[in-house]
Amino acid sequence: MKVKVLQNILDANTQMAQKNQRLLDNHRILALNIMASPGAGKTSLILKTIARLKDKTRIAVIEGDIASTIDADRISDQGVAVVQINTGGGCHLDANMVENALNNLKLNEIDLLFIENVGNLVCPAAFRLGEHKRVVLLSVPEGDDKPIKYPMMFTESEAVVINKIDLMPLLDFDLDAFKRKVIGLNPDVEIFQLSAKTGQGLDPWLSWLEAELKSLRA
């Protein structure tokens, strides 16, 4: 009985996610679902990307957090449209929350939409939001074993960003082993290694975003 209820919830979410994606497609907006543990650098990567792209790309952000507007305030300070979703304890975003947020954005004025999920490597992977691409961020201090411990996050994503590579000399993070595990789970995944803090390695990430935008519009 419990299993049946859970399946119904997932189905309703998937339907709403498809509706969100049609709305985004109609406005030619590329939407990315950014997933990671708390502190991995989701907001920092979004801020750095805004700084580099905002002159040529119209960016908006949906911020998911259990509480507060700390991250949304940092985005808003950059002059970018942002909607904060406070889940009030919920540990992931769902498609209904994102629909509500989309209703509060001027969709005709957006090219690229970041949806920053609640910090958590587990259940965000189970809920589609209407995004075109799912990106999992993993920071070097978290360790290279995370694809083994949280495989769904890596099998369900189109891109993996290894963040805080400036800390690599200080830590025992085996980059080759990490990449092997990720590719073993998901052979087609894009892998980026960068530091959102220093800007090192940011260019391939920005080029990928621009190529995805281009192909959505083609």
Nearest distance from C-beta of residue 162 to Zn ion, angstroms: 24
Nearer to Mg ion, 39 or 184 (CB): 39
- Of 38-46, 76-84, 153-161, 197-205, the window that binds Mg ion (rule: CB under 5 A) is 38-46
Nearer to Zn ion, 33 or 193 (CB): 33
Nearer to Zn ion, 115 or 209 (CB): 115
Instruction: Give the orientation angle of helix 95-102 with respect to helix 2-26, to 10 degrees.
Output: 30
Q: Is 33 near Mg ion (CB under 5 A)?
A: no
Q: In this structure, what token pair is assigned to residue 204?
A: 């391939």
Nearest distance from C-beta of residue 187 to Mg ion, angstroms: 30
Q: Determine contact, residues 208/178, Cβ cutoff 8 Å.
A: no
123 binds, among Zn ion, Mg ion, none (CB under 5 to 8 A by kind): Zn ion
Nearer to Zn ion, 157 or 193 (CB): 157
Residues 74-103 that bind Zn ion (CB under 5 A): 91-92
Q: Which of 53, 81, 123, 175 binds Zn ion (CB under 5 A)?
A: 123
**E strand residue ranges, 26-177:** 30-35, 59-65, 81-86, 112-116, 133-139, 159-163
3-state secondary structure 14-44: HHHHHHHHHHHHHCCCEEEEEECCCCCCHHH
Centroid of chain to Cα 181? 20
Sign for the pseudo-dihedral over CA of 33, 66, 45, 114: positive
Residues binding Zn ion (CB under 5 A): 91-92, 123
